[in-house]
């Protein structure tokens, strides 16, 4: 009986969502061991997870794993889960996590609980809460199966660095199956120099209230003063003011930053679906009836074009950034 | 090319959600149901593949009787045939994936297309599940797709950029917004679609693996501290973000 977590390397350590998954695993472990599986990581990257409570990790390395192959990765994760007798497999709902989790569930004859925002119970009797219908309702779900695969919405679970485990790292060579057909990643094109909304701690998003693309520099200035990523509403992306990769909402990206500042965004339900799990929401809008204020912790009723320069200046004086 | 497009019917996002009498699902009374918006990109891509390489487009949906409506839309857009898999129980994604995989085993498509997610449950589960059940590769969130012979090249959206992905047919693809511009069916096509046959099919009998225990509507725990745009209030906002929320 154990919990297996699919971990993803990033920078000197792991993705923050991986640390969040480890902390979430501790909350349901009931003392069961917490193990990880990772691909193409260094031992130095993996041992950073000890502070979060990861007891052991299987490291899969080799030239054949240099390009991400979803079916093969899912097969390897499933093999490790079976060998460990894992009753719960946790996977962050990142672009790769969402891709492999359903495959792992099929391989392990497990029920899949996607996009969880709360975990309850223990690894052998797991219940989860997840938003549905664009966040207009939540459901509490569980599986009928011996093994449960759950994906966790990034940035919702807190990553707690208060354990002192020494992660034991072992190298793992999955069985090769020559009949396995996998899609293979042949290249990655990162948007260099910009912080992506899906990985940002603070997001400043702009909408129609900015009146035109020429005023978006006001959003960018506020974002700079906070070290934040720039987001956009569907309306301004559809209008061609901003690129699609900045779009927050049901048809764009789902985000849960520490702070989300909505500038001149009315708060259509599709937009709220993508950001309503943010920890602190600030809204600036001249229409006091705008739905965005209903989900806001703090709001300013006013014209963004007039408010943003003043707000940016005052925030700069606190953060020292401009 | 033999193309299978999988679509679903979902509540319109602007619809009001109320909990049904069972306490674990939506009350359908008064809810406006629509074709899942991402599925329009999947249908359109299927039609374009057929226009380029020939073949047929079959569209399938799994759901209650009322969801047949979305198949009419697909037929009006140009789908050759439609298959309706009746499942009144609103089962989990495993039951739906199994039903689609079993249909695929019979009609042996070269490519199966989905929308990237259905906007009711946002599970992103079916494309990879069907891929795994069939032993096929899948590429999800595809914003650009080229198929030459059996070679598939695609671009998919990831955090902070795009991935180039390759695979071979048969293959499962899920469509991201931007893959194409879906066509609007013309009135004569809508009229013709009404009389096109829809093949009925029973759902695959497998046990659902997930059960919904309860559904609740969210209770807002937001502070709702709404201020004016005066200098004093903006100062106050910055102070609260710094001292109360501690986010700056």
Report pLDDT digits (tens) over A158-200: 999 999 889 999 999 999 788 899 999 999 998 877 889 988 9
Asked if the model's pLDDT at residue B170 lies above 90, the reply is: yes
Domain A2-171 CATH (choose: 3.40.50.970, 1.20.58.1880, 3.40.50.620, 2.40.30.10): 3.40.50.620
What number is the average pLDDT over the span A39-51? 97
Residue B236 forms part of a structural domain? yes
Q: Does B114 touch chain A (CB under 8 A)?
A: no
pLDDT score of A38: 98
As a whole-number percent, the residues of chain B with pLDDT over 90 amount to: 92
Same domain, B39 and B113: yes
The per-residue pLDDT for A161 is: 94
Q: Do A134 and B119 touch (CB under 8 A)?
A: yes
Q: Do A226 and B93 touch (CB under 8 A)?
A: no
Residues 148-207 of B with CB under 8 A from A: 152, 156-168, 171, 177-178, 207
Angle at B244 between CA A300 and CA A129, to 5 degrees: 90
The verdict on B193 and B241 lying in the same domain is no
Nearest-angstrom CA–CA distance, B4 and B58 = 5
CA distance A62 to chain B (A): 19
Q: Taking all residues of chain B, what is their mean pLDDT, rounded to a whole number?
A: 95
Q: Is residue B50 part of a domain?
A: yes
For chain A, give the mean pLDDT. Answer: 95
Percentage of chain B beyond pLDDT 70 is: 100
Element containing residue A87 per DSSP (H, E): strand A86-92
With CA atoms as reference, the chain A residue closest to B95 would be: A111
The candidate with the shortest Cα–Cα distance to B41, out of B16, B10, B5, B66, is: B5
The domain ranges of chain A are 2-171, 197-319
Answer yes or no: do A142 and B210 touch at CB < 8 A.
yes
Q: Which residue has the tokens 């975990």?
A: A119
- State whether A294 and B122 contact (CB < 8 Å): no
The pLDDT of residue A250: 83
SS3 A307: helix
Neighboring chain B residues of A196 at a CB cutoff of 8 Å? 159-161
The verdict on B13 and B50 lying in the same domain is yes
Residue A15, class by beta-carbon neighbours within 10 Å (0-12 exposed, 13-18 middle, 19+ buried)?
buried
Is the same domain home to B155 and B196? yes
Q: Under DSSP, is residue A145 helix (H, G, I), strand (E, B) or coil?
A: coil
- Give a yes or no: residue B208 inside a domain: no
What pLDDT, in 10s, does the model give residues B171-199? 999 999 889 999 999 999 999 999 999 99
CA distance A319 to chain B (A): 7
- Give B64 to chain A, closest Cα distance, Å: 18
pLDDT at residue A141 is higher than 80: yes
Closest Cβ–Cβ partner in B11, B213, B241 for A140:
B213
CATH 3.40.50.970 fits A197-319, yes or no: no
Classify residue B155: in a domain, yes or no.
yes
The pLDDT of residue B178 is: 87
pLDDT at A123: 87
The two structure tokens encoding residue B67: 């969801």
Asked if A191's CB is within 8 angstroms of B160's CB, the reply is yes
Q: Which of B131, B65, B120 is nearest to B97 (CA)?
A: B131
What is the side-by-side order of every strand in the sheet holding A280-285?
Answer: A229-232, A202-206, A259-263, A280-285, A298-301, B225-228
Domain count, chain B: 2
Alpha carbon distance A277, A268 (integer Å): 15
pLDDT of residue B14: 85
Cβ contacts below 8 Å, chain A against chain B, sum to 272
- Residues in B closer than 8 angstroms to A228, CB to CB, are none
Across the interface, whether the CB atoms of A115 and B123 are under 8 A apart is answered yes
| Whole-number pLDDT of residue B13 | 85
Confidence of residue B219 (pLDDT cuts 50, 70, 90): confident
Judge whether B94 lies within some domain.
yes
The minimal CB distance from B17 to the residues A109, A112, A137 is found for: A137
CA of B109 to nearest chain A CA: how many angstroms apart? 16
| Same CATH fold assignment for domains A2-171 and A197-319 | yes
Using the 8-state DSSP alphabet, how is residue A41 labeled? -
In a domain, residue B211? The reply is: no
Note the pLDDT tens digit of each residue in A238-260.
Answer: 999 999 889 999 888 999 999 99
**Out of A292-296, A298-302, B119-123, B135-139, least confident range:** B119-123
Contact A95 B177 (CB under 8 A): no
pLDDT digits 0-9 by tens, A2-35: 999 999 999 999 999 999 999 999 999 998 999 9
Q: Single out the residue of B152, B124, B160, B138 nearest to residue A188, CA to CA.
A: B160
Confidence of residue A124 (pLDDT cuts 50, 70, 90): confident
**Quick one: average pLDDT of B144-149?**
97
* A153, A181, A295, A302: best to mutate for the B interface, most B CBs within 10 A: A181
Q: From CA B180, how far away is CA B91, in angstroms rounded?
A: 31
Q: Which of B102, B137, B162 to mutate to test the interface with A (most CBs of A within 10 A)?
A: B137
What does the pLDDT read at residue A192? 75
Residues A264-321 pLDDT 10s: 999 999 999 999 999 999 999 999 999 999 999 999 999 999 999 999 999 999 999 9
Residue B227: domain span: 218-248
Shared domain check, B146 and B90: yes
Q: How far apart are CA A155 and CA A198, in angstroms?
A: 9
Regarding whether B97 and B19 lie in a shared domain, the answer is yes
Tokens of A134: 């664009």
CATH number, domain containing residue B48: 3.40.50.620
Interchain CB contact of B13 with A (< 8 Å): yes
Mutate to test the interface with A, among B165, B207, B240 (most CBs of A within 10 A): B165
ipTM strictly over 0.90? Answer: yes
* Same domain (yes/no): B93, B177: yes
Minimal Cα–Cα distance from A166 to chain B, Å?
30
Q: What's the rounded Cα separation, in Å, for the pair A244 and A241?
A: 10
Q: Report how far apart the first and last C-alpha atoms of chain B are (Å, whole number).
A: 56
Distance, CA of A278 to CA of A258 (rounded, Å)? 6
Contact (CB<8Å) A297/B126: no
The residue of chain B with its CA nearest to that of A304 is: B229
- Contacts of residue B26 in chain A, CB cutoff 8 Å? 133, 137
Contacts of B229 in chain A (CB under 8 A): 300-303, 306-307
- Round to the nearest angstrom and report the end-to-end CA distance of chain A: 52
Cα–Cα distance, B99 to B97 (Å, whole number): 5
- Residue A80: the pLDDT is 98
If asked whether residues B104 and B184 sit together in one domain, one would say: yes
Give CA separation, B118 vs A160, A165, A250, B54, B115, in Å.
33, 40, 10, 28, 7
Cα B196 to Cα B84: distance, rounded to the nearest angstrom: 13
Question: Which H helix or E strand runs over A219?
Answer: helix A217-226
Residue B209 domain-assigned (yes or no):
no
In a domain, B69, yes or no: yes
Residues B55 and B135 in one domain: yes
Q: How far apart are CA B96 and CA B84, in angstroms?
A: 12
List, in order, residues 6 or more apart from A163 with CB less than 8 Å away. Answer: A26, A50, A51, A52, A53
What mean pLDDT do residues B30-46 have? 96
CB contact under 8 A, A141 and B177: no
């Amino acid at each position: 009986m154990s919990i297996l977590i699919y971990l993803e390397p990033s920078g000197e350590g792991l993705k923050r969502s991986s640390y969040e998954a480890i902390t979430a695993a501790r909350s349901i472990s009931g003392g069961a061991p917490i193990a990880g599986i990772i691909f193409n990581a260094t031992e130095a990257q993996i041992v950073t997870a000890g502070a979060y409570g990861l007891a052991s990790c299987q490291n899969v390395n080799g030239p054949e794993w240099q390009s991400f192959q979803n079916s093969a990765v899912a097969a390897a994760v499933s093999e490790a889960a079976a060998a460990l007798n894992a009753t719960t497999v946790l996977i962050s709902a990142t672009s790769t996590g969402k891709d492999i989790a359903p495959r792992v569930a099929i391989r392990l004859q497990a029920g899949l609980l996607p996009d969880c925002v709360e975990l309850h119970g223990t690894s052998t009797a797991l219940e989860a809460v997840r938003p549905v219908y664009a966040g207009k309702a939540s459901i509490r779900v569980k599986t009928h199966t011996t093994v449960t695969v759950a994906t966790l919405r990034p940035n919702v679970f807190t990553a707690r660095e208060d354990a002192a485990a020494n992660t034991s790292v072992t190298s793992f060579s999955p069985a090769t199956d020559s009949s396995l057909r996998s899609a293979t990643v042949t290249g990655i094109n990162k948007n260099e120099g910009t912080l992506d909304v899906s990985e940002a701690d603070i997001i400043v998003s702009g909408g129609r209230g900015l009146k035109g693309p020429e005023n978006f520099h006001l959003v960018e200035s506020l974002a700079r003063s906070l070290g934040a990523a720039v987001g956009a509403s569907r309306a301004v992306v559809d209008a061609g003011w901003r690129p699609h990769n900045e779009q927050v909402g049901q048809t764009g990206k789902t985000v849960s930053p520490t702070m989300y500042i909505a500038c001149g965004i009315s708060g259509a339900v599709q937009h709220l679906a993508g950001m309503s799990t943010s920890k602190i929401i600030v809204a600036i809008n001249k229409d006091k009836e705008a739905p965005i204020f209903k989900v806001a912790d703090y709001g300013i009723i006013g014209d963004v074009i007039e408010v943003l320069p003043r707000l940016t200046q005052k925030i700069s004086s606190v953060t020292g950034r401009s | 090319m033999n193309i299978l497009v999988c679509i679903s019917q979902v509540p319109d996002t602007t619809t009001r959600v109320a909990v049904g009498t069972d306490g674990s699902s939506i009350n359908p009374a008064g809810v406006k149901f629509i074709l899942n918006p991402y599925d329009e990109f999947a249908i359109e891509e299927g039609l374009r593949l057929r226009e380029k390489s020939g073949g047929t487009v079959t569209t399938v949906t799994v759901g209650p009787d009322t969801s047949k409506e979305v198949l009419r839309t697909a037929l009006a857009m140009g789908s050759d045939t439609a298959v309706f898999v009746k499942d009144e129980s609103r089962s989990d994604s495993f039951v739906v994936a199994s039903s689609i995989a079993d249909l695929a085993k019979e009609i042996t498509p070269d490519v199966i297309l989905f929308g990237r997610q259905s906007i009711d449950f946002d599970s992103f589960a079916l494309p990879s599940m069907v891929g795994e059940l069939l032993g096929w590769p899948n590429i999800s969130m595809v914003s650009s797709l080229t198929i030459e012979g059996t070679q598939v090249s695609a671009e998919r959206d990831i955090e902070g950029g795009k991935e180039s992905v390759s695979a071979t047919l048969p293959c499962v693809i899920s469509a991201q917004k931007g893959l194409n511009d879906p066509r609007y069916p013309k009135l004569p096509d809508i009229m013709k679609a009404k009389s096109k046959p829809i093949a009925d099919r029973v759902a695959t009998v497998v046990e659902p693996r997930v059960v919904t225990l309860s559904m609740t509507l969210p209770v807002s725990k937001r502070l709702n501290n709404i201020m004016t745009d005066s200098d004093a209030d903006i100062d106050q906002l910055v102070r609260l973000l710094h001292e109360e929320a501690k986010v700056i």
